[in-house]
């Protein structure tokens, strides 16, 4: 699914930033440039971004978490609207860095954090407006605090990763086998 027609993977960046900031146990150290690496991986050309952007990225990730934690559509809409209210939007076409013409949502002079904020807010708005809360949320695996956004055709995803889905399936299988053995 292409949620906003942008040259970056805004929805994937949102999920990865939220998970990196809010789902990582405090005792696990992240590399100093972990969040900037996520930006590069999702097409934000953040190689030029200084380390000073990390606190702003962390703050934005914590705010985006509210969309994934919403328990109903109204709460999700309120969370998305709060994000949208805090971004500067000036859509324009750009052909920077040798790329084909594509849409940007932030002003031409915007830095990487402002671009990320506007595109992730729009991606989450599109997700919620088109699919409600059925295609995103917290991982269903016991003890997992990560989030997911489902972009599959069948919209059946409930786990943050195949590893969590497999662990949950194995645990359910063992529980059924144990119950059957007791009967």
- CA 102 → CA 45, 109, 122, 163, distances in Å? 14, 16, 15, 35
- CA 57 → CA 36, 52, 117, distances in Å? 9, 10, 9
* pLDDT at res. 69: 97
SS3 102: strand
Residue 98 has pLDDT above 70, yes or no: yes
Averaged confidence pLDDT in the chain: 86
Query: Domains in the chain, ordered, with CATH?
Result: 10-136 (1.10.3300.10)
* pLDDT at res. 5: 52
Angle at 58 between CA 75 and CA 158, to 5 degrees: 50
Per-residue three-class SS string for 110-152: CCHHHHHHHHHHHHHHHHHHHHCCCCEEECCCCCCCCEEECCC
Task: Report the percent of the chain where pLDDT is more than 70.
Answer: 92
pLDDT band, residue 169 (cuts 50/70/90):
confident
Which residue, among 137, 170, 117, 129, has the nearest Cα to 69 in the 3D structure? 137
Residue 17 has pLDDT above 70, yes or no: yes
Partners of residue 138 on adjacent β-strands: 147
Which residue, among 63, 18, 75, has the nearest Cα to 42 in the 3D structure? 18
* pLDDT at res. 145: 92
Q: Is 5 in contact with 102 (CB distance < 8 Å)?
A: yes
pTM for the model stands at 0.85
| 167 vs 171, more confident | 167
* pLDDT at res. 4: 52
């Amino acid at each position: 699914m292409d949620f906003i027609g942008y040259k970056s993977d805004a929805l994937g960046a949102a999920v990865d930033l939220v998970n990196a900031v809010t789902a990582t146990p405090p005792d696990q150290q992240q590399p100093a440039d972990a969040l900037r690496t996520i930006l590069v991986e999702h097409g934000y050309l953040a190689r030029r971004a200084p380390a000073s952007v990390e606190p702003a990225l962390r703050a934005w990730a914590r705010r985006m978490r509210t969309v994934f934690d919403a328990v109903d559509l109204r709460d999700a809409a309120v969370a998305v609207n709060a994000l949208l209210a805090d971004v500067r939007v000036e859509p324009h076409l750009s052909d920077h860095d040798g790329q084909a013409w594509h849409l940007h949502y932030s002003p031409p002079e915007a830095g990487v954090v402002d671009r990320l904020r506007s595109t992730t807010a729009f991606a989450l708005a599109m997700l919620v407006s088109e699919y409600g809360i059925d295609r995103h949320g917290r991982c269903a695996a016991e003890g997992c605090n990560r989030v997911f956004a489902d972009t599959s055709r069948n919209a059946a995803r409930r786990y943050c990763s195949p590893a969590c889905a497999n662990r949950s399936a194995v645990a359910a299988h063992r529980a059924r086998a144990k119950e059957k053995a007791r009967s």
